[in-house]
Amino acid sequence: MAMISDAPVLQQTSEPAEGAAMRSRLSRYARPVLGVLLPLTLALGWEIAVWSGWSNGRLVPPPSRVLATIAELVRSGELVRHITATLWRVGLGFAFGVIAGTLLGAVSGYWSLARRLLDPTVQALRAIPSLAWVPLFILWLGIFETSKIALIAVGVFFPVYLGVMGAILSVDRKIVEVGRTFRLSGPAMIRRILLPAVLPAYVVSLRVGLGLGWMFVVAAELIGASEGLGYLLLDGQQLGKPAQILAAIVIFAVLGKLTDWLIEVAAAPFLRWQDAFGRARGA
Amino acid sequence: MLALDRVSKTYPNGVEALARFSAEIRQGEIIAIIGGSGCGKSTLLRAVAGLDRASSGCVTLDDETISSPHAKIGIIFQEPRLLPWLSVADNIGFGLADLPATERREKVARALERVGLADKAQAWPRELSGGQAQRVAIARALVPRPEVLLLDEPFSALDAFTRRDLQDHLLDLWADTRPTLILVTHDVDEAVVLADRVLVMRPRPGRLFDQIEINLGRPRDRNSPLFENFKRSVLTSLDRSLDRSVPDRDATQGPGQAMWW
Ligand SMILES: Nc1ncnc2c1ncn2[C@@H]1O[C@H](COP(=O)(O)OP(=O)(O)O)[C@@H](O)[C@H]1O
Ligand SMILES: [Mg+2]
């Protein structure tokens, strides 16, 4: 969920290029430090509060206990099992969602006839809260992996579809005209003009899609699973182990941020030309 | 030779942007097209470039009818329209994709040198000033060696100083291969500095109103009395073109042709 609100930052980070040398040095070190100041202080404060006996920390366990829970899960090998299960689901659901979203989005963006045929239906489906599909998916696909992956794929599909279609539709006509004056063939126009032009928006839509993928994997695993981070959450609730719930939440956050960062890093070499990358990040 | 034969364009919304525009342009000639806003200059240029089809009439280059973009015709727009994801060098080489890499690199390097941007080869377009970006656009259009280069108000977004600089630079580049230049402008000074012949258009519908030969040697001195004279005659013609009470001179027809009717 954090990733969803994160995505637009991608476009806002562009700073005025000049005179930012000093500021960029400052921001490269100071900004992350400033960012963790608040959570760190709160965690430390809570730790001290529990430690000094102001609170028993039963419902809100202190950070040390959450860390201890994580360490215990790691030692028993449980954590790897749960993380693998969750990553596998998110990975597959994301892959299917991205493939479908990209294909249909590209078709809708490129051919106006396809858009007229397809887009109203997709928009109507989008209006359905995705969790409403759950009962149907379980009926159709069973309660095991397939229905979970389908649910995640549905969540990923819509932002990717919209992103790809919107990006193609908003490609600057003037730049397409440059391609025409150099007599590019259809495939060359796609490869040399359209693809590079839509890439930035595509990366944003992938990141938004991934954020939704993480959101939906929680939903899917809460509904019924015998392993996975979502199962850890549910298990912690049923057995009254708040430290385990918080541990799962922390791991969700770390994994979400990590996978989002992976996309960013993988895309960065192709987006160096953009203002938002390169300079502002001081890569 | 580039021949425009009664080129007309009516847009789907019914605007008659261009009506029976005829002209014959020698290889290597520099033509300036001048006229009030909305008199069909861009429409004309796009028809010559093959970007839009004329509603009637035709454009021929050495007896070949132009109906789509042609290898021998290049165009430069008011905005540089560089591809932001390509380096300056790759932008200049954009139209050379069919050449082997080494040959392409050589040509690009020479063009970069020629437009004075050799040190910017690996820069991104966003790092260029407006004038530099337009230089890259000029290099990109010239590097495939077009026989005809069309320019649609290429310098109008630049400041006066940069504009003069680029005008001189354009002439300099033109002298290398002497392509036909057709330059749309609304700057009388620019027209007289660059052109062998100025075509004055008038609006609604866009049509040819007058032609003025600029019989001045090069390089031209912008401050000479003769230069001022030519400027004055272009200005006068431009004023008359906008004055509705002045009838068409019908510059589209040669002197003898009128006798036909
Ligand atoms: N794509 C278009 N659709 C409809 N009308 C157009 C279009 N492009 C230009 N026009 C109209 O055609 C006339 C000539 O336009 P244009 O050739 O751009 O003029 P200029 O370049 O001389 O300013 C104008 O009245 C303009 O509004
Ligand atoms: Mg125009």
User: What's the gap in Å between A16 CA and the centre of ligand 1?
Assistant: 36
Distance in angstroms (rounded) separating the CA atoms of residues A106 and A184: 19
Classify residue A99: in a domain, yes or no: yes
Do A89 and A155 fall into the same domain? yes
**Residue position matching structure tokens 């540089």:** B80
Residue A172 CB coordination number (10 Å): 14
Number of domains in chain A: 2
Spatial separation of the C-alpha atoms in residues B72 and B92, rounded to whole Å = 17
Quick: pLDDT tens for A141-179.
Answer: 888 888 899 999 999 999 999 999 999 999 999 999 999
Which ligand has the nearest atom to the CA of B203? 1
In this predicted complex, what is the ipTM?
Answer: 0.86
Choice among A47-51, A278-282, B148-152, B180-184 with the minimum mean pLDDT: A278-282
Judged by DSSP in three states, A40 sits in helix
Average pLDDT over residues A1-15: 41
| pLDDT the model gives residue B253 | 45
Pairing state between β B30-35 and B2-10: unpaired
Residue A183 has pLDDT above 70, yes or no: yes
Q: At B36, is the secondary structure helix, strand, or coil?
A: coil
Q: Given pLDDT bands bounded at 50, 70 and 90, which one contains residue B25? A: very high
Q: Is the predicted pLDDT of residue A283 greater than 70, yes or no?
A: no
Model confidence at A65, pLDDT cuts 50, 70, 90, reads confident
Quick check: A183 and B68 CB within 8 A? yes
Compute the distance from residue B20 Cα to the ligand 2 centre, in Å: 18
- Between CA A261 and CA B244 the distance in angstroms is 65
- Chain B: closest CA distance from residue A194 (Å): 11
Clarify whether residues A10 and A76 are in a common domain. no
User: What residues contact residue B178 under an 8 Å CB cut-off, 6+ apart?
Assistant: B27, B28
Interface-testing mutation among B83, B90, B134, with chain A (most A C-beta atoms within 10 A): B83
Q: pLDDT digit string (tens) for A67-108? A: 888 998 889 988 899 999 999 999 999 999 999 999 999 999
The answer to whether residue A17 scores a pLDDT higher than 70 is: no
Q: Write out pLDDT tens, residues A194-213.
A: 999 999 999 999 999 999 99
**Do A120 and A20 sit in the same domain of this protein?**
no
For residue B60, the cross-strand partners are B3, B65
Average pLDDT, chain B: 88
CA of B36, closest atom in ligand 1 = 22
Residues of A in contact with B70 (CB under 8 A): 183
What is the distance between the alpha carbons of residues A46 and B93, in angstroms, rounded to a whole number? 62
Residue A267's domain spans which residues? 63-280
pLDDT digits (tens, 9 = 90+) for A23-38: 666 666 777 788 888 8
Q: How many CB atoms lie within 10 A of CB A232?
A: 27
Inside any domain, residue A57: no
- Determine, for residues A177 and B74 on separate chains, whether the beta-carbon distance falls below 8 Å: no
Q: Tokens in use for A114?
A: 């396809």
CA distance A183 to chain B (A): 6
CA of B152 to the centre of ligand 2 (A): 7
**A9 or B51: which carries more pLDDT confidence?**
B51
pLDDT at A10: 42
Question: B126 and A273: CB-CB below 8 Å?
Answer: yes
- Say yes or no: CB of residue B203 within 6 Å of ligand 1: no
pLDDT digit string, tens, across residues B215-252: 888 888 888 998 899 999 999 988 888 877 777 765 44
Tell me the two tokens of residue A190: 């796609």
Q: How far is A182 from chain B (nearest CA, A)?
A: 6
What is the per-residue pLDDT across B93-106, written as a single tens digit (0 to 9) for each?
A: 999 988 898 989 99
Distances (CA, A) of A241 to A148, A206, A238, B218: 25, 35, 8, 90
* A41 lies in some domain: yes
Do the Cβ atoms of B97 and A188 come within 8 Å? Answer: yes
Q: Could you tell me which chain B residue has the CA closest to the CA of A272?
A: B85
* Tokens 């354009």 found at: B170
At A283, is the secondary structure helix, strand, or coil?
Answer: coil
- pLDDT tier, A124 (very low <50, low <70, confident <90, very high otherwise): very high
A71 plus A154 within the same structural domain? yes
Nearest to A180 among B69, B86, B94 (CB): B69
What was the pLDDT predicted at B165? 87
How many whole angstroms from B13 Cα to the centroid of ligand 2? Answer: 18
**Domain contains A10:** yes
Q: Dihedral of CA B97/B99/B104/B108: which sign?
A: negative
Helix (H, G, I), strand (E, B) or coil at B30: strand
pLDDT for residue A171: 92
Q: What is the mean pLDDT of chain A?
A: 85
Pairing of strands B56-61, B64-65: antiparallel
Residue A1 pLDDT: 38
Average pLDDT over residues A55-77: 86
On whether residue A267 sits in a domain, the answer given is: yes
Does A174 sit within 8 Å of B79, measured CB to CB? yes
A13 and A126 inside one domain: no
CATH code, domain with A75:
1.10.3720.10
Residue identifier of the C-alpha nearest atom 21 of ligand 1: B42
The arithmetic mean of pLDDT across residues A10-31, rounded, is 57
Contact A273 B86 (CB under 8 A): yes
Asked whether the beta carbons of residue B81 and residue A175 sit closer than 8 angstroms, the reply is: yes
Q: Given A174, A273, A275, which is nearest B85 (Cβ)? A: A273
Average pLDDT of span A114-138: 89
Question: Which residues are found with C-beta within 5 Å of the ion, ligand 2?
Answer: B 42
List the residue whose alpha carbon is closest to atom 4 of ligand 1: B11
Domain shared by A217 and A83, yes or no: yes
Contacts B79 to A, Cβ<8 Å: 174
The distance between the two most distant Cα atoms of chain B, rounded to a whole number of Å, is 61
Question: What DSSP designation does A277 have?
Answer: T
Pairing of strands B180-185, B148-152: parallel
* Residue A269 is assigned to a structural domain of this protein: yes
Q: What is the percent of chain A where pLDDT is above 90?
A: 46
Pairing of strands B180-185, B73-76: unpaired
- Taking alpha carbons only, the member of B168, B202, B191, B251 closest to residue B32 is B191
pLDDT exceeds 90 at position A277: no
Chain A: nearest CA to B114, how far in angstroms?
21
For residue B33, report the distance from its CA to the centre of ligand 1, in Å.
Answer: 15
Q: Are residues A15 and A151 in the same domain?
A: no
Instruction: Determine whether the shortest distance from the Cβ of B15 to ligand 1 is under 6 A.
Output: yes
Confidence of residue A131 (pLDDT cuts 50, 70, 90): confident
As a whole number, mean pLDDT of residues A238-247 equals 88
Question: How far apart are alpha carbons A271 and B139 in whole angstroms?
Answer: 25
Which atom, in ligand 1's list, is nearest to the CA of B39? 22
Compute the distance between CA of residue A66 and CA of residue A85 in angstroms, rounded to an integer. 21
Please state, in angstroms and rounded to a whole number, the distance separating the CA atoms of residues A275 and A259.
Answer: 23
Is B14 close to ligand 1, i.e. is its CB under 6 Å away? no
Domain for residue A58, yes or no? no
A97 with A33, same domain: the answer is: no
pLDDT at A139 over 70: yes
Q: Does any domain span residue A68?
A: yes
CA atoms of A228 and A214, how far apart (whole Å): 12
Q: What pLDDT was estimated at residue A22?
A: 63
The CA distance from B154 to B142, in Å, is 14
pLDDT class of A262 with cuts at 50, 70, 90 = very high
Ligand 1 within 6 A of CB of B206: yes
Q: Which position has the token pair 């069919």?
A: B98
Residue pairs between chains A and B whose CB atoms are closer than 8 Å: 44
